[in-house]
Chains A and B, each alone.
Chain A
Amino acid sequence: MSGLVLAFAWWGVVSLALFCVALAERRARVILRGDRPELAPPRRRWGGDPDEPPGAYLLARVAAAGARLVRVGSVITDQSQGLLAVTRVVSCVALASALALIPFANHLGGTRDGLALVVFDLHYGLIALVFFVLLAGMAQVGVGLAQRSIWARLGSVRVASRMLGGIAFLMLVLAPLAVESGSLRLADLVWQQQQSFTPFAWLAAKLFPGFPGLEKTLSALSLPSWNLLTQPITALLFIPAMGFLTRRPVADDPVAGGFATSGFGFDADPTELYWGQVESRIALVLFASLFVALFLGAGNIPYLDSAKMTVRLGEFVGVVLPAVLVAVVEAHVFFVKLLLVLGLLMRIRRVTARMREDQWLRAVTQRLLPIAWANLLLVSAIMLLSDALRGGGT
């Protein structure tokens, strides 16, 4: 029963996020720059013509988009329609399955014994997550293989290289999180971020035992134990890693006057374009949700202990209701964080240059992968060192 409730709740959050992404993309397409009016997209000037409804009328825009889907489609000769359909389905199912692994709030009641608020809770969630992302990437390769032209085949080889390099990079980026938490379960990674920590306090106590004032001063500086603060290098590396895997190529769209998602099989077919856009948006929401869950403590509110809140409320109304209320509040906090991260990511995508596939691959294999290795080794070494200093090491 709890699985069904969690599935519906998480689906609501994801659907709202997808809707917000679609709205933001549309707004980005029709945005008017005051300083460069000559760059205004054609859609901005539309109006009066039934085929070109004004951009301000949402209903007219929806009807026009529906008409594009309904009207005559195109079929590329020598293209395997069956393989194309299978790859589209596999891609969406893999991305949805990866989304199902993400915890959107702390454990019920704020204790580790509580029910993990995640649709699909696995002991090896991180490995399953990598597998699903890899599956979605390989589905992109399959879309290219559905066409039998040499250009599509070469493009598939390039996309396959990108996906394999990206998966290796992602695993190296996620490994320090597993090292620190000692678990591959995503709910454990979220649980670990619910506490707070005091920077350098343990080190000051070991190195300067004769200065209790220093330790007290450092103890007063308490920060939420989010991985963004405890492992900032890992958080910074996670952004290009997921961007490498989820960023889809774009092409100039003369009709809309902007850039649209491109890829294999989009030749003048609005249905294929729809699937490409949907897949791209789900991938973006997956990217942002993962960032919130792994680095921003999921639904955690800084300096507010959900376990204490539940206990205090529980003295008046019992145990269950406060735990559920806190979970609902944390789900809302997760959604707000998700929107902020989505906005930030979309802004980054707009202001950064779009690198070619070979440039991406070279940057990942020659620059980012060694940095990720170094980050992993340093985190592992310092975890062992800190354990030894605290007397818990081997």
Chain B
Amino acid sequence: MAFVCFAWCCLISCLYRCEPPSDRTEFSRMVAESSSLEISVGAASASASAVGWIVFVLLIGIAVLGVPLAAALIRRGLPARARAKVAVAPMSFGSSQKVRRSPRHAVLLHRSLIVTLFIALVVFLLIPGVLAIRDLGVSAIQIGLALVLPTLLVTLHARRRGQGT
């Protein structure tokens, strides 16, 4: 029931929004006619200027590092005995059987890690798929099925053989 409601919500939300793009070429025409243009409005392509990125990251770094650096500078003025760090034992929760929960706890954690790793790998393959569907349209689904179906067939066949042996 919940899935049907969700599907209807998706359907309605997707259906009600299609609109041909409006024409916004007037400013482009003015720019083309203007001879005193000083701003860069040339290319529609992305400009991967690394300078801005480096400057921005440096600015954030300086802002973030400012407080601990100032604290470290002040700490240097303290006598050596006063600024010696205190050694702390790492946090531990004991070794009783109750705290350990289960000997399989670590195994289960690693199993969920492997599962999420495979999920992430599958989703990483999605990006070229999305681009292909966008560029090729419905024919991309046909090409995708032609690739996926034999793989699925071989996998299922191998699985049946594996169960039999």
Chain A interface residues toward B at CB < 8 A? 2-4, 6-8, 10-11, 14-15, 18, 66, 69-70, 72-79, 92-93, 96-97, 99-100, 108-116, 119-123, 125, 127, 147-149, 151-152, 154, 157-158, 160-162, 164-165, 167-168, 171-172, 175, 178-179, 182, 184-185, 187, 195-203, 225, 229-233, 267-269, 271, 274-275, 278, 282, 307-308, 310-311, 314, 318-320, 323-324, 358, 361, 365, 369, 371, 374-376, 378-380, 382-384, 386-387, 390, 393-394
Closest Cβ–Cβ distance, residue A165 to chain B (whole Å): 4
Contact, CB under 8 Å: A116 / B46 = yes
Please give the number of chain B residues whose Cβ is less than 8 angstroms from any Cβ of chain A in the complex: 93
Please, how many angstroms separate the alpha-carbon atoms of A376 and B7 in the complex?
Answer: 11
Question: Can you sample 20 A-B contacts with CB below 8 Å?
Answer: A7-B52, A8-B59, A66-B70, A72-B86, A74-B85, A75-B88, A76-B90, A78-B90, A108-B39, A111-B31, A115-B41, A154-B109, A160-B113, A164-B113, A168-B120, A233-B10, A278-B64, A369-B119, A374-B6, A390-B18
Contact, CB under 8 Å: A202 / B18 = yes
Is B82 engaged at the interface, CB distance under 8 Å to the other chain? Answer: yes
Closest Cβ–Cβ distance, residue A325 to chain B (whole Å): 12
Select from chain A the residue with minimum beta-carbon distance to B24. Answer: A307
Bits for B5-40, please: 1 = Cβ < 8 Å to A, else 0.
011011101111111111011111011001011111
Describe A's contact surface by its main secondary structure.
helix
Contact, CB under 8 Å: A3 / B17 = no
Closest Cβ–Cβ distance, residue B68 to chain A (whole Å): 6
Closest Cβ–Cβ distance, residue B57 to chain A (whole Å): 5
Contact, CB under 8 Å: A271 / B68 = yes
Select from chain A the residue with minimum beta-carbon distance to B55. Answer: A7
Determine the chain A residues whose CB is within 8 A of the CB of B137 once the complex forms.
384, 387, 393-394
Closest Cβ–Cβ distance, residue B128 to chain A (whole Å): 11
Closest Cβ–Cβ distance, residue B24 to chain A (whole Å): 5
Determine the chain B residues whose CB is within 8 A of the CB of A108 once the complex forms.
39, 41
Contact of A110 among B6, B24, B78 (CB under 8 A): B24
Is B154 engaged at the interface, CB distance under 8 Å to the other chain? Answer: no
Contact, CB under 8 Å: A119 / B53 = yes
- CB-contacts of B70-117 with A (<8 A): 70-71, 74-75, 78, 82-93, 105-106, 109-110, 112-113, 115-117
Closest Cβ–Cβ distance, residue A202 to chain B (whole Å): 5
Contact of B40 among A15, A115, A230, A268 (CB under 8 A): A115
CB-CB nearest 8 A-B residue pairs: A3-B52, A394-B137, A199-B16, A164-B116, A382-B14, A197-B19, A69-B71, A120-B53
Is B127 engaged at the interface, CB distance under 8 Å to the other chain? Answer: yes
Contact, CB under 8 Å: B52 / A120 = yes
Q: Which of A3, A154, A171 has the most CB of B within 10 A?
A: A3
Contact, CB under 8 Å: B84 / A72 = yes
Contact, CB under 8 Å: A195 / B90 = no
Please, how many angstroms separate the alpha-carbon atoms of A197 and B127 in the complex?
Answer: 27
Q: Which of B25, B38, B46 has the most CB of A within 10 A?
A: B46
Closest Cβ–Cβ distance, residue A386 to chain B (whole Å): 4
Contact of A7 among B56, B89, B126 (CB under 8 A): B56
Is B130 engaged at the interface, CB distance under 8 Å to the other chain? Answer: yes
Closest Cβ–Cβ distance, residue B53 to chain A (whole Å): 4
Do A152 and B90 contact each other (CB < 8 Å), given the known contacts A100-B52, A182-B134, A393-B137?
Answer: yes
Contact, CB under 8 Å: B109 / A198 = no
Determine the chain B residues whose CB is within 8 A of the CB of A375 once the complex forms.
10
Please, how many angstroms separate the alpha-carbon atoms of A201 and B68 in the complex?
Answer: 58
Q: Which of A121, A268, A319, A382 has the most CB of B within 10 A?
A: A319
Do A171 and B57 contact each other (CB < 8 Å), given the known contacts A157-B109, A161-B116, A164-B117?
Answer: no
Contact, CB under 8 Å: B39 / A320 = yes
Please, how many angstroms separate the alpha-carbon atoms of A1 and B75 in the complex?
Answer: 39
Contact, CB under 8 Å: A311 / B30 = yes
Contact, CB under 8 Å: A165 / B10 = no
Is B153 engaged at the interface, CB distance under 8 Å to the other chain? Answer: no
Contact, CB under 8 Å: A157 / B34 = no
Contact of A4 among B39, B45, B52 (CB under 8 A): B52
Contact, CB under 8 Å: A382 / B88 = no
Contact, CB under 8 Å: B59 / A7 = yes
Contact of B49 among A120, A311, A323 (CB under 8 A): A120
Contact, CB under 8 Å: B116 / A151 = no
Is B50 engaged at the interface, CB distance under 8 Å to the other chain? Answer: yes
Do A99 and B56 contact each other (CB < 8 Å), given the known contacts A116-B46, A121-B48?
Answer: yes
Closest Cβ–Cβ distance, residue A104 to chain B (whole Å): 12
Contact of B51 among A4, A78, A158, A378 (CB under 8 A): A4
